[in-house]
Chains A and B, each alone.
Chain A
């Protein structure tokens, strides 16, 4: 089963990942090969097996709501590519 161009395009769009035409072709072949190899999982009987999301048996940890200092605004904005008046500057979402 080789992934179609449309499928890879759709997945790239879901992940908001731009790909060049060359990358698209390369990944299409490699991912098809990888997924084919992963078909091996279908041999495993997992009926009545619960999934594991985290390996350790942690329970929810509850804590008091305590006021603590947060990072200074200036420090957080230090790495921002675009900023204005103490805020991250973003492009228009609605056009």
Chain B
């Protein structure tokens, strides 16, 4: 029961509720010092205050949020609560929400209202979800800056003229500025980790198959994975506890036991062997990022980890090309469904069936989506299939094996999340290859299907730098342990942008 004046809540009344973590909010809710209705109101006020500056949200679901908050408070009063009950969240706008517009930040799905919830949304609802809105993204999750949103670009709160990263840029910014306590993102080549790094929050892409893709609008099905975007590592563990697990409706869902991820949160790295692959520290890397990373890895050593600074993963340099053949090829097939017949944008003035389909796709998709459809169609077409798609799939095997070998010797690998700090809006938008390079540290992890965690590692000239922690399949607990120990020792996760 938090009030503006008097009573037990007086200390907290002055506190910025929007900057609470999940575990802090949960404690207050559980102790009945704060209600979900009050917390939700504070978050909605924060959205009203800052979203015109950062443009993180596609849809604000105010009425729904207030209703869900009331329901959550009833659950809390009955003592039936989970750590997420009544805690306001943002969902990336490529996850289906029953009855709530799900646009993928595309003109193609501008009016699409899903008849069902994604599995992750079902799980969060069971846990007591309060959804305050749907987050902006690069159209169909294709991009690294959220500039490819057909609606508007999202701005980085650490520098409003800079990109927040992408494609889950709206989710990252929303969490960083307190338009939500946590968010869900999706990651096909870095789309959770890179924006998390750019916005100084924690982004977790679990092992491929760990979280069901049911209800996630498909981009590249062998690479897509849903994960958490949170203010600290403890919160990542709490979200993972709810969303991880088997789902027969996703044919690639892993039927593998889900641990209690909070058990792995120990602030000590003794006995862990960490490797630093040197291929992630060369070409195009900014000096400031390198300095931050060397300091961060030094800290991991201080915390008791044994660090080998001279690991080599020589196939890393082929990952970018392999990824940008495989992902567009899968995208081209997945996006064939947008034909203007079943749902979404439909060009009505056409002469014929083919004309209608081509015009629907011409006017419904934005430039990057079209570029990738063409690239994918080319890589899969007769005469080029062997040289491009098949070749890339074989290189994928080599990259995967190289990681497997490394994990014989190391419990985790440490790299920067991105080679640069957030770049200026507009800087790379007309140079697709330069844009693709901003995923160079994150996309090998999707190629191999392994988990990756990005944690705030400091700043270079006032702009955030993320550290990526990579592990073997289903080693989420090890990654959380490393991230937790690091943030406990450094406190970078407590910094908030001034806005």
Query: How many positions in chain B have a CB within 8 Å of any CB in the partner chain?
Result: 73
B400 touches A (CB below 8 Å): yes
Neighbour of B342 across the interface among A16, A37, A79, A92, CB < 8 A: A79
| Chain B residues, CB < 8 A from A34 | 324, 375, 432-433, 436
| Chain A residues, CB < 8 A from B251 | 61
Q: What is the chain A residue whose CB lies nearest that of B394?
A: A46
Q: What is the chain B residue whose CB lies nearest that of A36?
A: B433
Q: Is B357 in contact with A44, judged by CB distance below 8 angstroms?
A: no
Nearest Cβ on chain A to B378's Cβ, whole angstroms: 5
Q: Chain A interface: which of B144-152, B272-280, B281-289, B347-355?
A: B347-355
Q: Is B473 in contact with A31, judged by CB distance below 8 angstroms?
A: no
Q: Is A15 in contact with B332, judged by CB distance below 8 angstroms?
A: yes
Looking at chain A, what size class is its interface with the partner chain?
A: 35 or more
Nearest Cβ on chain B to A1's Cβ, whole angstroms: 12
A67 touches B (CB below 8 Å): no
Within 20-34 of A, Cβ neighbours of B (below 8 Å) are at: 20, 23, 26-27, 30-31, 33-34
Q: At the interface, is chain B mostly helix, strand, loop or mixed? A: helix
Of the A-B pairs whose beta carbons lie under 8 Å apart in the complex, a sample of 19, sorted by A's number, is: A12-B377, A15-B373, A16-B339, A16-B354, A19-B370, A20-B362, A27-B370, A30-B433, A34-B375, A44-B398, A52-B394, A52-B396, A52-B397, A52-B400, A53-B222, A55-B448, A61-B248, A76-B115, A88-B342
| Chain B residues, CB < 8 A from A58 | 209, 252, 254
Given contacts A16-B354, A75-B115, A81-B341, contact A11 B395 (CB under 8 A): no
B116 touches A (CB below 8 Å): yes
| Chain B residues, CB < 8 A from A52 | 393-394, 396-397, 400
| Chain A residues, CB < 8 A from B113 | 78-79
B367 touches A (CB below 8 Å): yes
Within 413-454 of B, Cβ neighbours of A (below 8 Å) are at: 432-433, 436, 447-450
Q: Chain A interface: which of B6-14, B78-86, B118-126, B314-322?
A: B314-322
Instruction: Pick from B350, B358, B378 the residue with the most CB of A within 10 Å.
Output: B378
Neighbour of B378 across the interface among A11, A26, A30, A61, CB < 8 A: A11
